[in-house]
Structure 1
Amino acid sequence: MTQSYLEHVNITVADADQAAAVLVDVFDWHIRWSGPARDGGYTVHVGTADQYIAVYRPRDGQSRDFPKGAPLNHLAIVVDNLDAVEAKVVARGLTPFNHGTYDPGRRFYFFDENGIEFEVVSYH
């Protein structure tokens, strides 16, 4: 059997640096790279050494509709301390909702400033 894992997700946002700052703050990630991107846009790769989210901002005046498609339900992030991460979400002025506890873990959701829904889950 081949072992595989998710390397990255690419999302379109209004302000890539601001969106990356939320991810750094809430999840204790780091900026892996930032720079020019397709069609005159700008991208920040934020995450861990092995996995990241590419936050893409189109050039000024360009539609935020990425030409490859737009459907996305949510991004799920596994954390060790759900309560500590929720406190960071609240401290950023974001609103956690839909808290749930069921096997095998606990979770909550929040929307960032770009309308992207994150599920935060802990299996501890």
Structure 2
Amino acid sequence: MPKRRLEHANISVTDPDRSAALLKDLLGWHERWSGPSMGNGRTIHVGGEDNYVSLYTSEAVAGDYRKGQPLNHIAFMVDDLDAAEAVVVKHGLEPFSHGKYEPGPRTFYFFDWDGIEFEVVSYE
């Protein structure tokens, strides 16, 4: 069977350094690459060995996104949901919609500075 997985997601943010710092702190990821990109932009790839999030910005990126247009949210799985929530709060963001779903995960959501919604999930 061929190996299939999500390799990366590319999102536009107003401050890729700030977003990268959050993802590194929240997920233990590292910067895989950064540099100039299309449209006189700048991109940072932050992730692990098998996947990453590409954080793109340019003068055209205004932020202030609305949920569901076109993205509903990006979800990350962590071992320790309480520690993850502390990281989100430390970065000045507000967790909401805490839940527990049977038989699956505990979860919470947060919006970043640009209005992008993230879900954090733990199966522990």
Residue 39 of structure 2 corresponds to 39
Deviation, structure 1 residue 24: 1.0
Query: Structure 2 counterpart of 1:26, which letter?
Result: L
Deviation, structure 1 residue 18: 1.3
Residue 116 of structure 1 corresponds to 116
* C-alpha contact (below 8 Å) 2:42/2:56 kept by paired residues: yes
TM-score, with structure 2 as normaliser = 0.89
Query: Structure 2 counterpart of 1:92, which letter?
Result: H
Describe the superposition over 1:25-63 as per-residue Cα deviations: whole angstroms up to 9, x where unpaired: 1222110000011111000000111110000001x3x35
Q: How big is the alpha-carbon RMSD for the aligned residues of Structure 1 and Structure 2?
A: 1.5
Residue 24 of structure 1 corresponds to 24
TM-score, with structure 1 as normaliser = 0.89
Residue 70 of structure 2 corresponds to 71
What is the identity percentage for the equivalent residue pairs of Structure 1 and Structure 2?
A: 54
Residue 106 of structure 2 corresponds to 106
Residue 93 of structure 1 corresponds to 92
* C-alpha contact (below 8 Å) 2:14/2:61 kept by paired residues: no
Distance in 2, matches of 1:63 and 1:23, equals: 20
Total equivalences in the alignment: 118
SS in 1 for 2:39: helix
In the alignment, structure 1 segments of 5+ residues that lack a partner are none
In the alignment, structure 2 segments of 5+ residues that lack a partner are 64-68
Distance in 2, matches of 1:74 and 1:2, equals: 27
Residue 6 of structure 1 corresponds to 6
Distance in 1, matches of 2:21 and 2:47, equals: 11
SS in 2 for 1:73: coil
